[in-house]
Every structure is written in C-alpha cells, then in structure tokens.
Amino acid sequence: MTTFYVTTPIYYANSLPHLGHLYTMIVADLVARSKRQQGIETFFLTGTDEHGINIERAAKLNNRTPQEQADYVVGYFKKMTAAFGLDTAHGGYDIFMRTTEPFHSEGVSELWRRAARAKTPKGRDAIYKGHYEGWFCAPCAAYKTEDEYAKPVDPEEPPTCLIHETKLDRVSEESYFFRLSDYDQALLGLYEARTDFVQPDARRNEVRSFVRDGLQDLSVSRVRSSVSWGVPVPDDPNHTMYVWFDALSNYITAVGFGNEQQERAIGFEKFWPALHVVGKDILRFHAVYWPAFLMAAGVKLPRAVVAHGMWVDPAGRKMSKTLGNTIELDVLNQYFAIDAIRYFCLREMVFGQDGRFGYENLIDRTNSDLASGLGNLSSRTLTMIQRYCEGRVPSGNISEEARLLAKRAGVDTDEASIAGSLAHARDEFLRHFESFAFSRALEEAWAIVARVDKMISEAKPWDLAKEPAQEQTLHAVLYRAAETLRWLSVLLYPVMPNAMREIYSQLGLTEDLAKLDPRQLKWAGLPEGTQIGEVKGIFPRLDKAKIMDEIKSSGPTAGQGSAPSDLQGTSPTVSKDSAGSGQHATEADAVQNKSGDGLIEITDFAKVDLRVGEVRTAARIPKADKLLLLTVDIGEEQPRQILAGIAQYYEPEQLVGRKIVVVANLKPRKLRGYESQGMLLAASVGEEGKPVIATFAEDVPNGARLK
C-alpha cells in the first residue's frame, strides 16, 4: 500500500457542527496521521454537503441565498477545524470539499451519465424515469418507509421522522429512479467476498440483513420546481439530482473523477478507493446505495465503510441540532485542551456503539488518565532526570557487579522483560487500532503507564539517589521510564499530536513524530546522554467544580443544551428541552423521566416565575461579543441586571423601552464577572437558533405575572 485515502462524511451546510461532527473528524484525522507515520502517502477529505432542500430552507430562514448560507457554515467549519487542529495547517485534512465546486458538478454529471448508460446485473436500465409518492424527511433528505416514521395520533396529520421527530412531507412527483432492486445479489456477494467492506461486524450484519430483506428502487431526482438548489440531471434540466447521489459522489470528484484539473492536482487513479468513516446513521447510504451506484457506473468500490456509533444525550437520544441537545464546539474549545477531547472521545466511546457525553466524565478522565496518569509519569520521570542525572538521559545498563544491589532494591535486572512487554503492548495497541477498537488500544497503552508508574514507586528513585552504590540502579529505572515515554509519544501521536510532541521534545528529541512509525520502534533507541528539554506540565488538572459551574452558567448552549453555539452566553431561548441553563435542562429531564410521557404537572410549571419587564438600559460587554448587559424593570424597587446571549442579533438601542418576558426566580449566576439576575425569553428560529425576543402586542404593566 503506497497511498491511502480516508474520508469523513461531508456535513450538511444548513447548521453549525457539534461534537458529533467533530468526533468523525477526529477519527478520520487519527487514521490519516497513523498512515502518514507509516510513510504512506495519505489523502484526508472532509467538507460540506451544500445542495438540497434543507440548505434552501435554512437559507430562507436566515435571509440568505443558499450559497451565502453554505459559505457562512463553511466559514464556521473552517474556523472550528483550525481551532481543533484538524485543518491542513495542523497536519489534518488535505481537502475541504464543497459540493458547490464546479469541478464537482462536472464529475457527478459524468457519474450519472455512466450509470444512466449502464445495464443492471439483471440486464435492465440502471436508471429509469417514473413517478414517486412517499413521505420525505427534509432533515434526513430521505424518503421514509413505514418502519422509519411514527404514525400520527390524528390521521389528518403527517407522520413524524423517528430520528428528527419532525413532520414528514408528502411528496408525489416525476422522478428518475435508480434500479437498486437489481443489485441485491451483487451487494450480498460484495459483503461475502470482502468481509471487511463494512466494519465493525455488527454493522456488517445489519447491512446484510437490510439487503437480504429486499431492496426498493431509489428515487434519485427531484423536479426542479420542488428542489432547484442542486446539480441538474444531465440532459434533463427539469430534474435536480437527489442530494445523496450528488453528495456521495464527492468522494471521487474531490480527487479528480470526471475532471482533469482535479485529477492532475490530486489523482483519482492515485488515491481511490477510499476508506469512508461515517456515523451509523448514514451507513445504508454508504454501504448499500453508494457501492450500487459505483457498480452501475463501472467504478472501483470503496476500500471499506467504517461506521461509528452516535453520541447521545442523557435521555439516550442522538445528539443533533434538530433535537436541540448538542454539545457545542465553542464550549469544548473554551474549557478543554484539544488533546484531552480527542483522548476522551476515543477512550470513552466503544467504537461502533453509542456513547453518552458528559462534561463531568471528560473532566474526570482528563484528571485521572492524563493529568495523574501519563502527564504525571512524564513530569516525574523528567524531573528526576533533571535532578539526579544533571538533565541528561542516563545509561540503562546495569553492570554484572551492580546486579545484586539492583535486585536488592527490587529492580528487575533484566531489561529484556520491560522491553518485551512494551513491544507486546505496542503490537496489541496497533492491532486494536487497525480494527478501530481505539478504546481497547488506549487501555493497552495505559496498562504500560501503570506498569512504569509501579516500577518507579517500587524502586523509589528518591531513596536510591541517596546511596551512591545504587547509581546504576537509579539510572536504569529512569532510563526505562524515559524510553517508555519515547515509545508512548510515537504510539500515541495520532491520538494526541500536541501533547506527544511536547513530551517528545521534553525528552530532548527532535525528529518529527508525524513521520515516525511505531512499528519500527526498538528498545534502547533513546540515546544515552541526551540533554532533556525544559520540564513543563503537559495536562493541567482541571478544577471540576469551577468548570462545571461556569459551563452551567454559560447557558443552554453549554449543558446538554438547546441553543446554537453562536448564542453562547446566557440563555436567550426557551427550547423544547429546557427553559434555561444546562442545570434546568437536567431538571426538565428528571421531570420527564418521572412521568415518562414528557408531560409536566401544572405545579411544575407554576415553579417558574415569569414577569413582564421593560428594558431600561442595554449595552455590549467588552470582549464578550455574544452578550448584552441589560437592566430590566420588573416592577421591583430596583431594575434587575440580566445578561443575554443575543448581541449578535440585536443592537442595544433596539431593546431599550421594549417589554419583554423575564424568568424572575432563576438563581443568580455570574458571567464574565457580571451577575445575571434572571433570563429573558426568546423564540429560537431556524437551524441557527436565531433568537427572537418574546414581547406583547398590548400594553402591560411591568411586573405583571405570566400564568
């Protein structure tokens, strides 16, 4: 294998990314870095899916053209990937693919033409024109079958998407169809012949049984009058290609399929086929539809489709913008180091299964595994080398004469034993890593951390240092610890690039970790006499109470929140999940769990003291571009001071004199040094959750209670 190509899904450009999107990028980035370490020329794709009705709708809601909408989201994506070290400048993706690129429409049109000329394995036209009538979920951009929607209580109402809990649209129109039903045997043959085509195994079984149950032909176009924002069907501009046909093709058009310039710049022939990393939510598109399209067009099939599980909220629902329960990237970025987030995501989620995300867990793991674990091992080892060996890596050898003494100190004189177990752990780590069992791989690595920690604690270098006769023993112990750190830096580099570079350079080593293959590691590669670098803490301990307090008080965007990241600040919105902060979301969840049907008692509602308020003053806060500082008269002696995360949507002057609704009995909380003594209510509009402040059409006195 001389080249390798790995992709993430291309994300919808209708809303801003959250932890779920970040996770897939981390996994793909990790795979790319690991291949690059092996000297394999690697191409890593991520990007955005910019066509279709969802983008049109989001654009409309935000008063933008679809292209402006896509540009806006892409701007945020690029900022975010840079902040998380996933962009090209930080050794991450090689292309940020956008389906609105002209080379993409050329390529996807070519793919369509080839499929349209093709016969199915059963000798029929692969694409034909017909009529489609069905229930369509706009957020999924897919028609839904009966088992994929919830039937309405009122038969007049449309059914609801099980994933998004939004109403489906009835769509009936002329459409091109892809004759998927003719590809069942070919697909089953593929899964049989290439057992690693769909990974992990549980997902493979799921896909096989889906295909075995029989495939229906797939509608692959929408009439232009329904969906115009997309690639026209070649030779029939009255039809727009189905967004998934368009989107899936990005994986080949990005590297040059159907476009010479792109082919010259990157190379379809050079890099294709790719390994697709996807969430299990879109497995069917990648493991069934995509290979069938490619079979029809006579293009090589992907290397594999690897599906991970979903990050879910405390109620077990998939984290998604539509449900308003996402973990926002701005918050993660503000409070946590990139490497700690990467480590946590990979260690916590058993690949392929769903995982629950909690800030507390993230803090606990950072403190236990990173600060007290690897970080402490690194700093204690290096500090002792500094102190007892004048900052130079000592010799690891114990001479014949010194062996007895070493044994007396409880130190294994046979270096081969630690070298052997390290090599074994490395092999196991890589084996798990190759099969995407990142969590298991990290367990192996941390078993090594524990072993070396134990070695140090038992050998007690601080005591050995007091006995000149034990110098060799002391040196050997420190050498072993330092050499282990070297191995771990190389091994864990794809997981935590920054932190491992830091440890490596503190060891006094200068090679580029991005190019060191852990398979080539040999014991004793750390040269004796190496001058170590300045010893600094790698993973600072996190103050759990303080961080949790700040996160909670920074509003619903931050907890198992409800509002979008660009509203970070206090809560400007009331959403279906919560009436306020993350803290309140939790309370709401508890209420929901008790009654089981999501309904609350009137007494629960009565706990919330809602009052009419009048904005007296409004001002921006220096260095907090999302917050406005308001004083609001709610009929009390003094106006209340309230912080609202609406600065990106309202000018302060617009608000003065306005009647608003205030939650008057929220516990006060501090934000950016200001106390907020309540919360204003606003509707959350569109995918971005633009706040629209609730107000009154008639005159009402300040302080009047809302009931």
Which residues are part of the catalytic machinery? Answer: 18, 21, 137, 140, 161, 164, 318, 321
Piece of the chain touching ligand MSP by CB under 6 A; list 10-18, 412-420, 642-650, 663-671: 10-18
Select from 9-17, 67-75, 394-402, 617-625 the region that touches ligand MSP (CB under 6 A).
9-17
660 touches 693 (CB < 8 A)? yes
- Should residue 310 be labelled a site residue for ligand MSP when binding is judged by CB under 6 A? yes
247 binds ligand MSP (CB under 6 A): yes
Binding residue for ligand MSP, selected from 111, 274, 278, 628, defined by CB under 6 A = 278
CB-nearer residue toward ligand MSP: 282 or 662: 282
Q: Which of 9, 66, 258, 518 is the binder for ligand MSP (CB under 6 A)? A: 9
Q: Could you give the CA distance from residue 617 to residue 607 in angstroms, rounded to a whole number?
A: 28
How far is residue 86's CA from residue 78's CA, in Å, rounded to a whole number?
9
Q: Which is nearer to ligand MSP, 197 or 493 (CB)?
A: 197
Which of 256, 279, 324, 613: binder of ligand MSP (CB under 6 A)? 279
Structural tokens at position 152: 């309405």
User: From the CB of 158, what's the least distance to ligand MSP, in Å?
Assistant: 22
Task: Give, in order, the Cα–Cα distances in Å from 451 to each of 360, 455, 462, 582, 680.
Answer: 27, 6, 18, 39, 54
Burial class from Cβ neighbours inside 10 Å (0-12, 13-18, 19+) for residue 154 reads exposed
Least spacing, CB of residue 233 vs ligand MSP, in Å: 18
User: In whole angstroms, what is the distance from residue 660 CA to residue 527 CA?
Assistant: 69
Which DSSP letter does residue 118 get? Answer: P
Secondary structure of residue 84 in the 3-state scheme: coil
Q: Are 674 and 629 within 8 A, CB to CB?
A: yes
Q: Which helix (H) or strand (E) holds 684?
A: strand 682-685
The mark string for 27-66 relative to ligand MSP (x by CB under 6 A, - otherwise) is ----------------------x-----------------
b/e map 104-119, b = 16+ CB within 10 Å: bbbbbbbbbbbbbebe
Q: Name residue 705's beta-bridge partners.
A: 611
96 is a contact residue toward ligand MSP (CB under 6 A)? no
Pair 461, 474: CB distance under 8 Å: yes
CB of 340 to ligand MSP, least distance (A): 18
Cα of first residue to Cα of last residue in the chain, in angstroms, is 68
Q: Which of residues 11-30 bind ligand MSP (CB under 6 A)?
A: 11-12, 20-21, 23-24
Measured CA to CA, the distance from residue 327 to residue 575 in angstroms comes to 15
436 binds ligand MSP (CB under 6 A): no
Q: How far is the CB of 349 from ligand MSP (least distance, A)?
A: 8
**In the complex, least distance from residue 12 CB atom to ligand MSP, rounded to whole angstroms:** 4
Q: How many CA atoms does the CB half-sphere of 368 hold within 13 Å?
A: 10
Q: Check binding of 241 to ligand MSP (CB under 6 A).
A: no
Q: Which residue, 301 or 423, is less far from ligand MSP as judged by CB? A: 301
Per-residue binding letters, 313-332, with ligand MSP (x by CB under 6 A): -----xxx------------
- For ligand MSP, the closer of residues 86 and 419 by Cβ is 86
Which residue, 10 or 488, is less far from ligand MSP as judged by CB?
Answer: 10
Binding residue count for ligand MSP, defined by CB under 6 A: 20
CB of 530 to ligand MSP, least distance (A): 42
Distance CA 403, CA 412 (A): 9
Pick the piece of the chain touching ligand MSP (CB under 6 A) from 177-185, 277-285, 366-374, 563-571.
277-285
* Spatial CA neighbour of 112 closest among 218, 262, 246: 246
CB of 138 to ligand MSP, least distance (A): 12
Q: Is the Cβ of residue 163 or residue 643 nearer to ligand MSP in the bound state? A: 163
Instruction: Give Cβ neighbours of residue 111 (< 8 Å, ≥ 6 apart).
Output: 249, 252, 253, 257, 258, 293, 297, 299
**Interface with ligand MSP includes 551 (CB under 6 A)?**
no
282 near ligand MSP, judged by CB under 6 A: yes
C-alpha span between 132 and 143 (Å, rounded): 10
Cβ partners under 8 Å of residue 175, min gap 6:
129, 130, 131, 132, 219, 220, 221, 222, 223, 239
d(CA 166, CA 322): 8
Report if residue 406 touches ligand MSP, rule: CB under 6 A. no
Q: Which is nearer to ligand MSP, 5 or 311 (CB)?
A: 311
CB of 247 to ligand MSP, least distance (A): 4
Q: For ligand MSP, which residue has the nearest CB?
A: 20
Asked if residue 693 binds ligand MSP (CB under 6 A), the reply is no
Residue number with CB closer to ligand MSP (46 or 553) = 46
Q: Find the binder of ligand MSP among 187, 218, 227, 248 (CB under 6 A).
A: 248
What does the DSSP 8-state code read for residue 96? E
Instruction: Give the burial class of 63: count Cβ atoms within 10 A of its Cβ; 0-12 exposed, 13-18 middle, 19 or more buried.
Output: exposed
Q: Which is nearer to ligand MSP, 49 or 263 (CB)?
A: 49
Residue 281 binds ligand MSP (CB under 6 A): yes
Neighbours of 228 (CB within 10 A): 14
Q: Are 480 and 452 in contact (CB under 8 A)?
A: yes
Q: Give the shortest CB-13-to-ligand MSP separation in angstroms.
A: 8
Q: Applying CB under 6 A, does 311 fall inside the site for ligand MSP? A: yes
Considering only residues 644-673, where is the footprint of ligand MSP by CB under 6 A?
none
Take residue 372 and report the two structure tokens written for it.
Answer: 């007290």
| Closer to ligand MSP by Cβ: residue 34 or 249 | 249
Between 248 and 478, CB nearer to ligand MSP: 248
In angstroms, rounded to a whole number, what is the distance separating the alpha carbons of residues 278 and 258? 24
Please report how close the Cβ of residue 383 comes to ligand MSP at its closest, in angstroms: 39
Site residues (CB under 6 A) for ligand MSP? 9-12, 20-21, 23-24, 49, 247-248, 278-279, 281-282, 310-311, 318-320
